[in-house]
Amino acid sequence: MRYYIIAGEASGDLHGSNLIKEIRKSDTAANIRCWGGDRMQQAGGELVKHYRKLAFMGFWEVAKNIGTILKNLQFCKDDITKYKPDALILIDYPGFNLRIAEWAKQQGYKVIYYISPQVWAWKANRVHKMKKCIDKMLVILPFEKDYYKDKWNWDVEYVGHPLIEVVEEAQLQSGSLPLATKPIIALLPGSRRQEILKKLPIMLEVSRIYPACQFIVAKAPGQEDSFYESLLSMYPNVSSVRDATYNLLLQSRAALVTSGTATLETALFGVPEVVCYKGSNISYQIAKRLIKVKYISLVNLIMDKPVVKELIQNELTPGNLRRELDSLLSDTATQQRLKEDYTSLRQLLGQGGRASARAAASIVEYLQKK
């Protein structure tokens, strides 16, 4: 069969690549065209457009780039029309993908959504449209199945979280890692240029307080080395790695992490973390009024309690980061509590089984019945 898969971010590229691998096991003659990144391409998808040309974060940033976004939407529709897929598989990235879903349904394509938009946090009214234009919804957070059923009378399928298998695979390979000579603090400042520029300078200032530690920045795949060099040059105990975030987390004593999927990855590796968020003031003020959740990190949302500390906007300062980092590195009670909560988190997310394989089998089976 012919599959057209759209992912618009680094995390979508990761999960999309594993989905492609599993689809190929069930459908050995699968023809796959995709929007995503290097991982999806390496897994066997024919890459149409890279996510680094698509990612705009925040209300103000989206508004400034609306012309580019509209051109991408039209290009995508034209490309789907030429390709004539048996199914359109959309991975998260709702601002773009829900527009494509509505159009695709009108054109008669089968629409499958893998990794639900976070409508339980904001824009819940999107669900009315989603129910009409999505033929099959596969969710990865345990509370989402009940949310859709209880609030919207919509039966969706929970397949487990795909990060479980990704982290397990990385941990199996950890025996080949060199031993670190100093305690390592991982800095995960995000993947988009504007968010890195907002948060990384604050994270870097903390390195001056801990000269006995080695701070290591995980570079984003979409950003050039030269971009980081100018930011890191003044900090002697800071280095960086590329395409080695998981190896970095496997060796880290603690981490400062930008809100998003990385907060969950860090927790699944068992690394104590501080969650960091700082956006443009306009975007933050709008988001604060619209987003209806108690927490910004996936760890706290899934566990429904403050497992990891969140430093948001004006709270994200070198002084506050130092206080929290001291606690993570030195307070045995904090360390034990985190260890127990992380174990519970992993058990909760693993209930659905291997997510990529379950999702792929469900998709192929659904299409073969049609």
Would you state the pLDDT for residue 121?
83
Pair 145, 271 in one domain? no
Q: Which amino acid belongs to residue 250?
A: L
CA atoms of 188 and 66, how far apart (whole Å): 28
pLDDT tens sequence across 166-215: 999 898 877 656 667 899 999 999 988 888 999 999 999 999 999 999 99
CA atoms of 328 and 334, how far apart (whole Å): 7
Relative orientation angle of helices 225-232 and 193-207, to the nearest 10 degrees: 30
Pair 222, 296 in one domain? yes
Closest CA to 113 of 7, 265, 241: 7
Residue ranges of alpha helices (H) inside the chain are 10-26, 38-42, 59-64, 66-83, 94-106, 126-133, 142-152, 162-172, 193-207, 225-232, 245-251, 261-268, 281-290, 298-303, 318-330, 332-349, 355-369
Pair 209, 315 in one domain? yes
Pair 204, 150 in one domain? no
Any idea what DSSP says for residue 212? T
Q: How many domains does the chain have?
A: 2
Pair 21, 89 in one domain? yes
CA atoms of 88 and 76, how far apart (whole Å): 11
| Residues of the domain holding 63 | 2-160+352-368
Would you state the pLDDT for residue 10?
82
Pair 154, 136 in one domain? yes
Token pair 């981490």: residue: 255
Domain harbouring 206, CATH code: 3.40.50.2000
pLDDT tens sequence across 312-365: 999 999 999 999 999 999 999 999 999 999 999 999 898 767 899 999 999 999
Pair 174, 322 in one domain? yes
Would you state the pLDDT for residue 180?
72
3-state secondary structure of 333: helix
Chain-centroid distance of CA 26 in Å reads 26
pLDDT tens sequence across 216-273: 999 997 799 999 999 999 999 999 999 899 999 999 999 999 988 899 999 999 999 9
Pair 175, 96 in one domain? no
Q: Which amino acid belongs to residue 256?
A: L
pLDDT tens sequence across 105-125: 999 999 999 999 989 888 889
CA atoms of 54 and 60, how far apart (whole Å): 15
Closest CA to 13 of 39, 52, 49: 39
| pLDDT for residue 292 is more than 80 | no
Closest CA to 329 of 276, 292, 257, 274: 274
Would you state the pLDDT for residue 111?
98
Would you state the pLDDT for residue 221?
78
Pair 127, 202 in one domain? no
Question: In the sheet where 309-312 sits, what is the strand order?
Answer: 238-242, 214-219, 184-188, 252-258, 273-277, 309-312
Judge residue 15's burial from the number of C-beta atoms within 10 Å of its C-beta, 0-12 exposed, 13-18 middle, 19 or more buried: buried
Q: Are 157 and 187 in contact (CB under 8 A)?
A: no
HSE of 77, CA atoms in CB hemisphere, 13 A: 17
Q: Are strands 273-277 and 309-312 parallel, antiparallel or unpaired?
A: parallel
Pair 235, 190 in one domain? yes
Pair 172, 300 in one domain? yes
Pair 356, 309 in one domain? no
CA atoms of 210 and 158, how far apart (whole Å): 43
Would you state the pLDDT for residue 65?
66
